Structure 1
Amino acid sequence: MVLTAALGGILVSCSSGPEKPKPAELTANPALFGVRLAWTTKIGTVDFPLDIKVNGTKFSVASTDGLVGSFDAVTGAEVWRTHVGTPISAGVGSDGRFASVVTRGNELITLDAGREIWRQKLSAQSFTSPLVAGGRVFVLAADRSLSAFDAQSGRKLWNQQRPGESLILRQSGVLMAVGDTLVAGFAGRLVGVNPLNGTSRWESPIASPRGTNDIERLVDLVGRVSREADVVCARAFQAAVGCVDASRGALLWTKPADGFVGVHGDEKFVFGVEGDGKIIAWRRADGERAWISERLRFRSLTAPLVVGRSVAVGDDAGFVHLLSREDGSVLTRITTDGSAIATAPVLAGGSLVVVTRSGGVFGFKPE
């Protein structure tokens, strides 16, 4: 039986335990980076590992209660919106035409331009957004299986089952395409897979399980990742950050790191948030630390996003903080609706797109 652990569920607190650390107080907003609110829209409450999927100038989002929608990132206008009639556990995956989500009832649902075309029952839960690419829908499930379905018909094309530890995170993992290789995260390893038949091409460990119990051995790779050309950098839960050449499966470097949200980066740095809110920049070339910022400690930060000369992270008070890519100094801070930022922000159509737990969707224009 596969057990799951929520993001905060591993660090269970009780009334007799130590008090939660006090979040770092915010200083006056220096407003050194111009950002203006361009538009807002609304979806339902988001309490699952949402992946905001960008396709050109459009993006797709979903709410917990089953709403799935596509929006224009330039204007915020709705392209289409539909309700699948059941709560969602993972999504959204989209190639711009087909959009797929996974429900809490373990169903994979695929829409064509907003119209449902098929459902398929899965063997297990999934918390990772499906990948829609090359006329196929790929699903990474909690039982360590990887499956491919025909995007138009829903016919299962293949399934790869892998052994693994009995505990898996209830948050988004790694599933992406790099060239003609499907790249997935299994435990602490990046695995390159042939998308035509599911056979493995290579494996590269970013972290190895350690400890004597399931929780201590949990080293799942978590989304988001940082990709530059064929080099993919990812985080292993509370263990390490590392980079792999996905064209040949070669591990380039790995460094100890104690965080549980994904990374982002550019050609120079890989940026990540540690569990206590420290923000770290590692040099992409060799993994050596370039700088560290403690200005946002204990503010429950999202994974980062590179935005121009800044790095953006959201917090649980509804703020998005933009820090300098070069040294981590605060450039500016923007506000949303006061509820926690639900997932890492994205860039689409020149807009910085932010989604909150209460369902607010905000488009900011960096200036």
Structure 2
Amino acid sequence: MQLRKTLLVGWVSVALLSGCSLFNSEEDVVKMSPLPKVENQFTPTKVWSTSVGDGVGDYYSHLHPAWQDGTIFAADRFGVVKALDASNGKTKWEVNLSTNPGFFSSRISAALSGGIAVSGTHAYIGSEKAIVYALNTEDGKIAWQTNVGGEAISRPVISDGLVLIHTGNGLLQALSETDGSIQWSANLDMPNLSLRGESAPATAFGAAIVGGDNGRVSAVMMKEGQVIWQQRISQPSGATEIDRLSDVDTTPVIVNGVVYAIAYNGNLVAMDLRSGQIMWKRDIGSVSNIIVDADHIYVVDQDDRVIALNTDGGVSLWRQSELLHRNLTAPVLYNGYLVVGDAEGYLHWINTDDGRFVAQQKVDSSGFLSAPVVASDKLVVQAKGGEVYSFTR
């Protein structure tokens, strides 16, 4: 099958991108778990909400806000980018990156994707049209824009004077933070069929650690783009090509010289940062970013179980299985609680000690795709319809 990531459409993409499994019969449909009944121990307070364009609609674009120095930066897929005052949600500036082909023509979508990253005086965002933009944080004006080697659907990562972009065709490219010029490109091998999504790299000690669609995690020297080591954490297996998907679409986490990474249809692994050698692995798969906090790891697996493990051997501490197939976002830690959103627009607050629900709230009927973001003392989340919400606890 010669489907590429950009061609996953129809029932294939719906099933894969929701984290559900495929069955042989059309009548065998994975059903979303009913909403669990929760007796709220507290009610999170909505501080403000504001619209940022039309959101992502039915597209699988993991657009999410970013925060820096009292300002929230958010965008919609069409091309609207806003800087918002984190205290009240009021717009500081707004730009539109969509293009205008002529006076009598409608504007053409910029197809923004992957989320905003902010560092210093620039906010960075990529597009499905293989363009990376750097915007001035003060006024939103374009500082530079660069055409990269493929769809820029992962979040840009800024480190060591470089903007790292993992493109949809398997390239890891380094752009100059100053002017956007391409410094190097590393080709990470691509299978014929893969999920729509790319791992944003993690960086440490001059190396970028990034997952690939081939089931491998790679370490790349940021000075020259040379691959130091590669480690396979998922081995394709199963009767169908869908079963054999082994993408590592999540961002690795680096703590105390250990790399934690997870693959779809694969494993959660701990690896030595210097050599890539696997220290331990557990049979858990996911397409959502994981959290490593102190000696705990928090995972939303591909069936939407929320799981806590310890970092010493990956021993399971608890599992919360009442949100199966509700298409959960990646988790975030906020004020000592684990928070996830779901496709129906609920936020679920979970006790990190035992996995029990402590609060639940309906926020937005368009649902959530991207994880909430912690902005100082606030929790900020963007709904698929484009509304951005700020909460406090």
Which of 245, 248, 253 is the matching residue for 1:221? 248
Aligned residues of 1:73 and 1:349 also touching (Cα < 8 A):
no
Q: Contact 1:226/1:270 (CA < 8 Å) preserved in 2?
A: no
Query: How has the CA–CA distance of structure 1 residues 144 and 322 changed in structure 2, closer, same or farther, with 3 Å as cutoff?
Result: same
Which runs of no fewer than 5 residues in structure 2 stay unpaired? 99-109
8 Å CA contact 2:346–2:361 kept in 1: the answer is yes
Q: Structure 1 176/72 Cα, relative in aligned 2: closer, same or farther at 3 Å?
A: farther
- Answer whether contact 2:157 2:200 (CA < 8 A) is retained: no
Normalised by the size of structure 1, how large is the TM-score?
0.90
Match of 1:288 in 2: 315
Alignment partner, residue 64 of structure 1: 77
- Of 67, 80, 93, 1:80 maps to 93
**1:320–1:333 Cα contact (<8 Å) kept:** yes
RMSD: 2.5
Q: Secondary structure at the match of 1:8?
A: helix
Give the letter for the 1:26 counterpart: P
Q: After TM superposition, list the pairs within 5 Å mapping 1:28-107 onto structure 2.
A: 29-33=38-42, 35-44=44-53, 45-46=55-56, 47=59, 48-85=61-98, 86-107=110-131
Residue type at the aligned position of 2:63: L
Higher mean C-alpha displacement, 111-120 vs 203-212: 203-212
- Equivalent of 1:340, from 367, 370, 378? 367
Alignment of 1:1-367 (within 5 A): 3-4=4-5, 5=8, 8-10=14-16, 16-27=26-37, 29-33=38-42, 35-44=44-53, 45-46=55-56, 47=59, 48-85=61-98, 86-113=110-137, 114-186=140-212, 187-211=214-238, 214-246=241-273, 248-366=275-393
Secondary structure of residue in 1 paired with 2:250: strand
Partners of 1:348 and 1:121 in 2: CA distance: 31
Partner-residue secondary structure (3-state), 1:108: strand
The offset of 1:204, in angstroms, is 3.2
In structure 2, how many angstroms separate the alpha carbons of the residues matched to 1:92 and 1:345?
13
Indicate the SS of the match to 1:94: strand
Unaligned runs of 5+ in 1: none
Query: Which AA in structure 1 matches 2:130?
Result: N
Q: Is the 8 A contact 1:31 1:331 kept in 2?
A: yes
Q: Aligned partners of 1:152 and 1:330: how far apart in 2?
A: 46
Deviation at 1:22, TM superposition (A): 4.0
For residues 91-111 of structure 1, the C-alpha deviation after alignment (integer angstroms, 9 at most, x for no partner) is 323214222222222222222
State percent identity of aligned pairs.
Answer: 23
Q: How many residues align?
A: 365
CA 210–160 in structure 1, closer or farther in 2 if over 3 Å, else same: same
Alpha carbons 2:66, 2:116 under 8 Å: kept: yes
Q: Which amino acid aligns with 1:88?
A: L
- Cα distance change, pair 216–338 in 1 and its aligned pair in 2 (3 A): same
Offset of 1:236 from its aligned partner? 0.4
Structure 1 pair 101–209 and aligned structure 2 pair: CA distance change class (3 A): same
Higher mean Cα deviation, 350-359 or 267-276? 267-276
Q: For structure 1, which segment, 158-167 or 220-229, has the greater mean C-alpha deviation from structure 2 after superposition? A: 220-229
Which stretch shows the higher mean deviation, 57-66 or 145-154?
Answer: 57-66
Secondary structure at the aligned position of 1:124 is classed as coil
Tell whether the 8 Å contact from 2:71 to 2:86 is kept in structure 1 after alignment. Answer: yes
* 1:12 Cα deviation after fit: 6.3
Question: Conserved in 1, the CA contact under 8 Å of 2:264 and 2:302?
Answer: no
Supply the AA of the counterpart residue of 1:39. Answer: W
